[in-house]
Amino acid sequence: MAAGLHHVTLVTGQAQANVDFYAGFLGLRLVKRTGGFEDATQLHLFYGDAAGSPGSLVTFLVWEDGAPGRVGLGQFTELALAIPSASIGFWLTRAMSHGVKVAGPSRLFGQPVLRLTDPDGATVRLAGTDDLAAAAPLGDGPVPAEHAIRRLAGATLLTDQLRMSEAFFADHLSYRETAREDGLVRLTSPAGDSLDLRDASGFWPGASGPGTIDHLAFRTADAAGLQAALRRLEDEGREVSPIKDRRYFTSLYWREPGGALCERATDGPGMTVDETPAGLGEGLFVPPGTGEAVKLQLPDIALPGEPRERRADLAFVHRLKRMDGGDGSTIVLLHGTGGNETDLMPLAHVAAPNANLLGFRGRSTEAGSLRWFRRFDTGAFDTADIAREAEAFAATLQEALAFYGLDAERTMLLGYSNGANFAAATMMLQPGLVRNAVLMRPVQVLDSPPAADLAGAQVLALTGSTDPYLAEAAGLIRQLRERGAVVDLRELTAGHASGDADIAAIRAWHAAWYGA
């Protein structure tokens, strides 16, 4: 019967820094990279042993440049990894020489421990353990085998329902109390990993995000065991998810009495269903039915020692997808309200497969949705904010083109909705920045833009015949033409949403200006 941890899933906001720390510094093996099964545009990284075995896996949901989470009540924290007890000195020296924040050594339940801080601020506890003779190293990278991490050791739960949480893990998952120390209750599974429960009553609640543990997953042998677990949770009146196919395992989710998210995951079919054991972690996979284009929205990563693209530290969050052997043109992507820097990449790539794609993220928010500038109400825009953001964006784009070696003369803007409005405003407020632009579903947001010289600028404006904002585009088209821009206005049989007609129009327009 399967027992103990299957995997621990954390959240990171820095995919490349995460790989550098967990594969490069800690020496774990990257065994799988996929698009998320809940959100295919979210990269999911898996680290583990040579076969990606249940019980060895540490996984990360990548919320690239996401707001940091907050460790607190109703949350697991402090990922624990087992190392040989004699290796504490090696890891202390390694942390100090690599500039990794480290605390300790200290002792916890009789074990020597070091606490490291990963790039997102999550605590990784290296627990010195004496019974590791049969445990193979979790990686074959830069860490000598005799000092390598051997297995998952556990995590800590912050709960205000200590007795109920303890009883739940005992009754449902066979974790039994083995020790108490300094306000912690240690529960140990038959597999040897441990959960340390701390009564955190009165502590602030946790908030998911980079630097936190999202959930713990516990091993279940097979589908029959998963069904039995589901029935029991439902019989107890607990809220539980449907059974979900995660390709590499099947699982279900619920929250333990203290509020922390838990998962049951089957041992099979395992990480080798789509890669050989030797090739684990080399491919990038997306959920069935998602489409290959979604891969464009996932951040690129390089393993330690592999060539990588340097990333500029810019005022706007951005993502570059460089097309090797492409036509040398670059499409600068400006998302609509609620989007992000990758939203338009699939559309732009289909329209212009040989163009580099440089997506930016707006810095304003409205009701939690990203935008490019503030507004006071529907149709009432903060023109001072537009001007400030346009100036900042112009400087940022110039810096990005120079840093990445992109040809400014072969660069165009592509904006949708709020992004199209911002692109047009930026062309008038910062003339000469970019001469060509595609504006999908634009409207007028500047009442009295400056008398900019847009002579030579070429604009493709794509409106929708049933778009409720169609009439509001006329003023913008007039402003652009009055300032010398050549505007190709096309009314598509469409609403506000973009689609195949937009792609066809952009494809022809891009080919005319930058070559097929």
Whether 126 and 116 have beta carbons less than 8 Å apart is answered as: yes
pLDDT digits (tens, 9 = 90+) for 183-197: 999 999 999 999 999
Residue 139 pLDDT more than 80?
no
Q: What single string gives the DSSP state of each residue in 234-276?
A: HHTT--BPPPEE-SSEEEEEEE-TTS-EEEEEEEEE-GGGSS-
Reference 315, options 65, 83, 41, 22; nearest CA is: 65
Reference 359, options 386, 336, 375; nearest CA is: 336
Q: What single string gives the DSSP state of each residue in 419-432?
A: HHHHHHHHHHHSTT
* Over residues 488-513, mean pLDDT: 96
Residue 516 pLDDT more than 90?
no
Residue 137 pLDDT more than 90?
no
pLDDT digits (tens, 9 = 90+) for 163-184: 999 999 999 999 999 999 989 9
Residue 364 pLDDT more than 90?
yes
Whether 6 and 217 have beta carbons less than 8 Å apart is answered as: yes
Percent with pLDDT over 90 in the chain: 91
| Residue written as token pair 């998911």 | 208
Tell me what pLDDT residue 1 has: 59
CA–CA separation, 347 and 417 (whole Å) = 14
List the structure tokens of 217.
Answer: 């997953």
Residue 4 pLDDT more than 70?
yes
pLDDT digits (tens, 9 = 90+) for 92-124: 999 999 999 999 999 999 999 999 999 999 999
Tell me what pLDDT residue 135 has: 73
Interior/surface letters 116-148, b for 16+ CB within 10 angstroms, e for the rest:
bbbbbebbbbbbbbeebeebbbbbebebeeebb
